[in-house]
């Protein structure tokens, strides 16, 4: 592809996603949405529309096209990235900040930003593969985040029973577990139900991205601490670069490599703020990491897609 074609292709992938984020910023600034709307809409996405979208994308997918080894690599590398970030925190962070830093540096917003980017770039294939990846990684994220926050914040509920109860009630995990046997045995569903589900699920990504934009603050970026910037660099630059390098050595290319990159390069998940608050940890640091990583990933994701496309790898 010519250089201009690659650049335009990159914009086609990233601009639709990040335009929704900036729309959320604008709507919050002019007062058309507020904190109550964002809270209600985010809950609707998490509990209803996103599970519907993932369920339908999986049951309509060709499961033969989904690579279990790629999903295994993603989960394994995400676990490794947790220990890499924790090791850096042990060396560079004050004791009381290590849990928040580690979670912010490794926990990506795969279920919204990663999935939206994968859908923008690869359509139904990106949704199907991304849906399974998002459902699986939630288990890893919740367990490892609970452990590291508990070590530095003893007030958090981090016993095995609490973790398992939270996982068992997670709508994203439940919808993936339900969709896989339905897809495997090709259970027929009424056409009216499929159409209604598509209407309902299609709200998920734009609504979630607008909510993300509504929670962001340019002021927080300007006031971002050294630790927030450091954690954001780990999340959006160093860990994606290492993960993609490993995938290249294992022979991954095209849509598999592209989807992997988009998930690894997604910004810090907003739920990390909730977990930090529950642990009585530094919520200001957690919020700054989310904001800084979200803004920085707009550049790093675009640059990554551009370079990988230009080199013919995706």
Task: Read off the pLDDT of each residue in 106-125 and give the average, rounded to a whole number.
Answer: 91
**72 pLDDT higher than 60:** yes
Set out the domains of the chain in order of their start, with CATH numbers. 3-308 (1.20.1530.20)
* Averaged pLDDT of the chain: 88
- Residue 9 — very low, low, confident or very high, per pLDDT cuts 50/70/90? confident
Sign of the C-alpha dihedral computed for residues 70, 239, 79 and 52 taken in this order: negative
Does the predicted model carry a pTM greater than 0.85?
Answer: yes
What pLDDT was estimated at residue 2?
A: 67
**54 pLDDT higher than 90:** no
Instruction: Give tens-digit pLDDT for 264-307.
Output: 999 999 888 877 877 888 888 888 899 899 989 999 999 999 99
How many whole angstroms separate alpha carbon 269 and alpha carbon 113? 9
What pLDDT was estimated at residue 233?
A: 96
How many whole angstroms separate alpha carbon 133 and alpha carbon 114? 10
Sorted by sequence, the CB contacts under 8 Å of residue 34 that are 6+ apart come out as 28
Task: Read off the pLDDT of each residue in 48-58 and give the average, rounded to a whole number.
Answer: 88
DSSP string, 50-95: HHHHHHHHHHTS-GGGS-HHHHHHHHHHHHHHHHHHHHHHHHHS-G
- Residue 223 — very low, low, confident or very high, per pLDDT cuts 50/70/90? low
Task: Read off the pLDDT of each residue in 188-208 and give the average, rounded to a whole number.
Answer: 93
- Residue 157 — very low, low, confident or very high, per pLDDT cuts 50/70/90? low
**155 pLDDT higher than 90:** no
Q: Which residues pair with 268 in a beta bridge?
A: 108
In the 8-state DSSP scheme, what is residue 154?
T
């Amino acid at each position: 592809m010519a250089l201009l074609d690659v650049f335009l292709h990159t914009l086609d992938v990233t601009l639709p996603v990040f335009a929704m984020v900036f729309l959320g910023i604008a709507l919050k600034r002019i007062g058309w949405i507020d904190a109550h709307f964002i809270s209600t809409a985010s809950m609707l996405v998490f509990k209803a529309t996103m599970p519907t979208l993932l369920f339908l994308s999986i049951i309509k997918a060709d499961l033969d096209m989904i690579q279990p080894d790629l999903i295994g690599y993603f989960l394994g590398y995400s676990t490794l990235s947790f220990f890499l970030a924790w090791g850096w925190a042990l060396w560079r962070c004050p004791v009381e900040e290590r849990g928040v830093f580690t979670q912010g540096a490794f926990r990506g917003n795969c279920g919204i930003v990663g999935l939206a980017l994968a859908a923008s770039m690869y359509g139904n294939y990106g949704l199907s593969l991304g849906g399974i990846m998002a459902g699986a990684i939630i288990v890893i994220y919740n367990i490892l985040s609970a452990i590291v926050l508990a070590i530095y914040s003893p007030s958090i509920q981090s016993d095995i029973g609490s973790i398992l109860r939270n996982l068992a009630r997670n709508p994203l995990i439940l919808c993936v577990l339900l969709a896989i046997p339905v897809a495997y045995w090709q259970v027929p569903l009424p056409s009216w139900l499929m159409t209604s589900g598509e209407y309902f699920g299609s709200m998920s990504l734009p609504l979630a991205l607008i909510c993300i934009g509504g929670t962001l603050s340019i002021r927080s970026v300007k006031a971002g601490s050294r630790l927030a910037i450091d954690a954001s660099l780990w999340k959006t630059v160093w860990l994606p670069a290492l993960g993609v390098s490993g995938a290249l050595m294992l022979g991954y290319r095209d849509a598999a490599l592209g989807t992997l990159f988009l998930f690894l390069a997604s910004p810090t998940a907003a739920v990390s703020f909730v977990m930090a608050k529950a642990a009585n940890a530094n919520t200001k640091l957690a919020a700054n990491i989310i904001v800084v990583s979200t803004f920085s990933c707009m550049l790093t994701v675009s640059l990554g897609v551009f370079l990988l496309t230009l080199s013919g790898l995706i």
